[in-house]
Copies of this chain bind each other. A is one copy, B any other.
Amino acid sequence: MRDVAIIGIKNTKFGEMWDNSFRDIFVEAGVGSLEDAGVSGEEIDGLYVGNMSGGQFVEQEHIGALIADYSGLAKNLHVPSTRVEAACASGGLALRQAIFGVASGYQDIVVAAGVEKMTDVSSSVASAALAAASDREWEGIMGATFPGLYAMIARMHMHMYGTTSEQMAEVAVKNHSYGLMNPISQYRKKITVEDVLSSIMVADPLHILDCSPITDGASSLVLAPADVAHKYTDTPVYIKASAQASDTISLHDRRDITTLDATVAAAKRAYEMANLGPSDIDVVELHDCFTIAEICAIEDLGFVEKGEGGRFTEDGETAIGGKVPVNTSGGLKSCGHPVGATGIKQAVEIVHQLRGEAGKRQVQRANTGLTHNVGGSGATAVVHILSRER
C-alpha cells in the first residue's frame, strides 16, 4: 500500500450561485486545485467526483464524464473519471476512492472533487431529492424528511442526557463565528443563542438556525504518492487513515438513535490505522448537518463521553482554544452544505489548517486533523485522518 499525500486544494464560494452553472463551479474548483498543486492536465491519471443527485437537481447523471469533458481532460487525454455517491457522504467517499487509486499503484496524480448545485430547483423539490438519502420505503414514504429524523435524534438525546436547546444553539453560534472568518462561507453572519432559539421551528426541537442550508458549491483536492509529493509542494499533507462504515439506513432499526454506530466504527478503524487516538487530533471538520449532529459526532468520535457533548460544547471545548477545535470552516451550518462537495471541503479546510494558512480561524500548532462525513441519518460514515507528518 503506497502512502498518499494531498498536494493541491480549492473551494469555490459556497452559497446560492445563480450566476454560475453546475459546470462552472466544478471547473472552477478542479482547475483551481490543479493550479494550487502546480500540476498540468497531462499529468492526471484519474478524477473522482462526489455528487449526490445530479439526476434530481440538474437532470444530469454521468457526472464523472461530464466533468472530465468540461475540464478539458476528456477529448485528447481520455482521463478516467468516476462519480461516487453516498448521499451527503459522497465527497468523503470520492476522496477515499481517490486514495485507493493512488495507494493501489493504478494511478499516480488524481483529483478528488465534490460538487452539488441545489438551488436550481425549488426547496420542496430539493427536500424530496434529499429524502432519497433515507429509506424511501420506510421513512420517505411516511413523509419523514431529514430535519424530522434529526429532530427525533435530538429529542432522544435531550431525554437521555439532559441536553438542552441552548447547548445545541451554541453549536450554531460557534460555527457561525468561524463562518464569518471564512471567505467562502454561505452565511457570514454572527448569531446569538437567542437568535437560534427565537428562529422559526422546523422540526421540534430544531429551529431553522439549527439546520444546515441548501447550497451550491464545489471543492477539489489533488492527490499524489507521498514519495513524490515534495516535487509539487513544500507543504504536503499526508493521509494517515481512511475508514468507512455502514449502518442501517432507517433510524428505527438502530439500537440507539443517539449514537451513529457507523461513525463509531469508522473512527475506531481510522484511529487504529493511523495508530492515533482522539487526544492526538488538533483540529476537526465534522458533519454538523444539524446542531445535534455535531453533539453526537464529538461523542461518537471519542472526544468526549457519550451524553457529555452538549456540556462540552457549552464549555467552549470545541472552540478554537478549547480541547478540540471543531468546524473552523464554519461547518455545514454556516459555510454551507452542497451535499456532494462537503466531504471534500472538510479536507480542504484541514489542509488550510495544517499548512497554517487559515487566517483568523487558524488553530495554533495544528499538526494532525480529522474529517468526518455522514450520509443520510448515519447509514454511511467516513473518517479521514490527515497529518503534516508522514
Report the minimal beta-carbon distance from A246 to chain B, rounded to whole angstroms. Answer: 4
Tell me if A249 and B65 are in contact (CB < 8 A): yes
Judge whether A307 is part of the interface by a CB distance below 8 angstroms: no
Enumerate A5-27 residues with CB–CB distance to B below 8 Å: 23
Judge whether A358 is part of the interface by a CB distance below 8 angstroms: no
Across the interface, name the chain B residue whose C-beta is closest to A21. Answer: B137
Tell me if A245 and B55 are in contact (CB < 8 A): no
Enumerate A56-89 residues with CB–CB distance to B below 8 Å: 56, 58-66, 68-69, 73-75, 78-87
Judge whether A329 is part of the interface by a CB distance below 8 angstroms: no
Across the interface, name the chain B residue whose C-beta is closest to A96. Answer: B82
Across the interface, name the chain B residue whose C-beta is closest to A65. Answer: B379
Judge whether A1 is part of the interface by a CB distance below 8 angstroms: yes
Tell me if B262 and A62 are in contact (CB < 8 A): no
Judge whether A114 is part of the interface by a CB distance below 8 angstroms: no
Judge whether A229 is part of the interface by a CB distance below 8 angstroms: no
Judge whether A248 is part of the interface by a CB distance below 8 angstroms: yes
Q: Decide if the interface of chain A is mainly helix, strand, loop or mixed.
A: mixed
Across the interface, name the chain B residue whose C-beta is closest to A64. Answer: B86
Report the minimal beta-carbon distance from A272 to chain B, rounded to whole angstroms. Answer: 13
Do A106 and B106 contact each other (CB < 8 Å), given the known contacts A249-B65, A249-B66? Answer: no
Report the minimal beta-carbon distance from A300 to chain B, rounded to whole angstroms. Answer: 12
A-B CB contact pairs (8 Å), 18 listed: A53-B61, A55-B56, A56-B61, A58-B136, A59-B132, A61-B129, A62-B133, A62-B249, A65-B375, A68-B246, A69-B379, A74-B247, A75-B261, A78-B247, A99-B104, A100-B100, A100-B101, A104-B105
A residues sitting closer than 8 Å to B (CB atoms) are 1-2, 23, 46, 52-56, 58-66, 68-69, 73-75, 78-87, 93, 96-97, 99-101, 103-106, 129, 132-137, 140, 242, 244-250, 253, 261-262, 265-266, 375-376, 379-380, 382
